[in-house]
A and B are shown apart, each in its own frame.
Chain A
Amino acid sequence: MAGDQGGCKSCGGLCGGKGLVTLKDGAWTQNPLAIQVLGICSALAVTNKLENSLVMGAALIFVCVGSNLFVSLLRKHTPHRIRMIAEVAIIATFVILFDQLLKAFYWEMSKQLGPYVGLIITNCIVMGRAEAFALQNPPILSILDGLANGFGYAVILAIIGFFRELLGTGKVMGHEILSGNWYTPNQIMILAPGAFFALGIVIAIFNALKGPDPQENK
């Protein structure tokens, strides 16, 4: 326990106070997809299979953590006028890095995700976290924030991907689950309209579980 206390001091009350709030905000109370409704373009486009959704979620976690860390490290040295250009440069570096690795070691997936990995550069979640959080906060806290937001995005994507693949093809990760005479795969779920239905329903359920926003009534 004594060791824990020391750790808390060195990271500025991370384990008790701000760190937990940051994690909870990113993944739950301020979930980027379900509450802020950001980055839905990729969430609609790549969620027709669970596997695609998982890889896309991993990509966003990687980019969000990496860019948050470096934006935060450089925050005191970055000239204010070109801070956004600097953020985009850092984000783009991480996105291209992930894209290259995917092309080298996971070619099949790279083909299926097509341009959407590259489009993470323009994902509002990444840029938003760099601008709103990493510019004002120390590196470790920024990593946590990137992790929480990336995780919040990835989980919603996985939920949508799971149900779209299950209802649309009767499979999960390529394994047949719903089959036989009693279930006919509902093709609309793997097409664009299915993405809108699934995302809408997930956002509705998420908001219902979370309860009304206390700030809205003020």
Chain B
Amino acid sequence: MKGNVYTLLYAFVLGTTCALLLTAASQFTTPYRDANAKAEEVLNILTALKVPFEEGASSEELLNVFNGNIEEKQRGDMTIYEYSPANGNGEVLAVVMRFAGPGLWGPVKGFLALESDLRTIRGLTFYEQEETPGLGGEIVTDDFRSQFAGKSIVDESNKAGIVIRGGGNKLINGVDAISGATMTCDKVQQMLNKAIVKIVENE
């Protein structure tokens, strides 16, 4: 029977070796993973803004499209991205901003794109969510997201905010909620409105 000291020593050496190995691996892959994360963000911004790009484009191609068409700006305490086509006359077609907030199970994050009037939604994407697959998780589907295009972010009396609820698509600032995902929809509405209020008040 080997002693306690040996057992502790063994655990210590094994643990340290594994940790060192993984640290080295992580150091080595960090630049690649960062580049992937950046490309993912760029892809989401381009999708929300409906900037045309080739399907299945590589990370570098996406970055090229992004750098050619999109300009990063500060607006109050928000970072926004303005879309003015490379072959246009410098006119801003649309802007996109980040929104985030707690979902039902975990953080939900995404991009909201507005037309140049800053009152009409152009599109939106979610790049992080852990909602229930098949219910709240349906927020990432085209069916749900495409409802937002063309909707106003203010109601008839010019009050900022959108509505996500059953039958909401009849409102100028509303879309249909997902059945069985009321909690997720409420929370998505809250986080969108937080961003929308900021945009409207920062005029």
Which A residues have a C-beta under 8 Å from some C-beta of B?
Answer: 74, 77-79, 81-82, 85-86, 89-90, 92-93, 96-97, 100-101, 103-105, 107
Name the contact of A92 in the complex, choosing from B6, B18, B25, B32 (C-beta under 8 A). Answer: B18
Which residue on chain B has the smallest CB distance to residue A98? Answer: B25
Which B residues have a C-beta under 8 Å from some C-beta of A?
Answer: 2, 6-7, 10-11, 14-15, 18, 21-22, 25-26, 29, 32-33, 36, 39-40
Beyond A93-B22, A97-B21, A107-B40, is A86–B14 a contact (Cβ under 8 Å)?
A: yes
Name the contact of A89 in the complex, choosing from B7, B15, B32, B40 (C-beta under 8 A). Answer: B15
Contact B33 A96 (CB under 8 A): no
Contact B14 A104 (CB under 8 A): no
The 4 closest A-B pairs by CB, nearest first: A104-B32, A104-B29, A107-B36, A79-B7
Beyond A82-B11, A97-B25, is A104–B33 a contact (Cβ under 8 Å)?
A: yes
Beyond A79-B2, A89-B15, A96-B22, is A104–B10 a contact (Cβ under 8 Å)?
A: no
Chain A residues near B33: list those with CB within 8 A: 100, 103-104
Name the contact of B10 in the complex, choosing from A79, A100, A101, A107 (C-beta under 8 A). Answer: A79
Contact A78 B10 (CB under 8 A): yes
A interface: dominant SS: helix
Closest chain-B Cβ to A191's Cβ sits at a distance in Å of: 9
B interface: dominant SS: helix
Closest chain-A Cβ to B54's Cβ sits at a distance in Å of: 15
Which residue on chain B has the smallest CB distance to residue A81? Answer: B7
Q: Can you sample 15 A-B contacts with CB below 8 Å?
A: A79-B7, A82-B7, A82-B10, A82-B11, A86-B10, A89-B14, A89-B18, A90-B18, A92-B18, A93-B18, A93-B21, A93-B22, A100-B33, A101-B29, A103-B33
Which residue on chain B has the smallest CB distance to residue A93? Answer: B18
> In the complex, what distance in Å separates the CA atom of A104 from the CA atom of B14?
26
> In the complex, what distance in Å separates the CA atom of A111 from the CA atom of B130?
13
Contact B11 A86 (CB under 8 A): yes
Chain A residues near B10: list those with CB within 8 A: 77-79, 82, 86
Chain A residues near B14: list those with CB within 8 A: 74, 86, 89-90
Closest chain-B Cβ to A59's Cβ sits at a distance in Å of: 15
Chain A residues near B7: list those with CB within 8 A: 79, 81-82
Chain B residues near A77: list those with CB within 8 A: 10
> In the complex, what distance in Å separates the CA atom of A78 from the CA atom of B2?
10
Which residue on chain A has the smallest CB distance to residue B22? Answer: A96
> In the complex, what distance in Å separates the CA atom of A90 from the CA atom of B11?
11
> In the complex, what distance in Å separates the CA atom of A5 from the CA atom of B184?
68
> In the complex, what distance in Å separates the CA atom of A79 from the CA atom of B32?
39
Closest chain-B Cβ to A41's Cβ sits at a distance in Å of: 15
Which residue on chain A has the smallest CB distance to residue B26? Answer: A100
Closest chain-A Cβ to B19's Cβ sits at a distance in Å of: 9
Chain B residues near A103: list those with CB within 8 A: 29, 32-33, 36
Which residue on chain A has the smallest CB distance to residue B11? Answer: A82
Closest chain-A Cβ to B44's Cβ sits at a distance in Å of: 12
Closest chain-B Cβ to A208's Cβ sits at a distance in Å of: 34
Contact A79 B6 (CB under 8 A): yes
Which residue on chain B has the smallest CB distance to residue A89? Answer: B18
Closest chain-A Cβ to B3's Cβ sits at a distance in Å of: 9
Chain A residues near B2: list those with CB within 8 A: 79
> In the complex, what distance in Å separates the CA atom of A155 from the CA atom of B6?
42
> In the complex, what distance in Å separates the CA atom of A82 from the CA atom of B3?
12
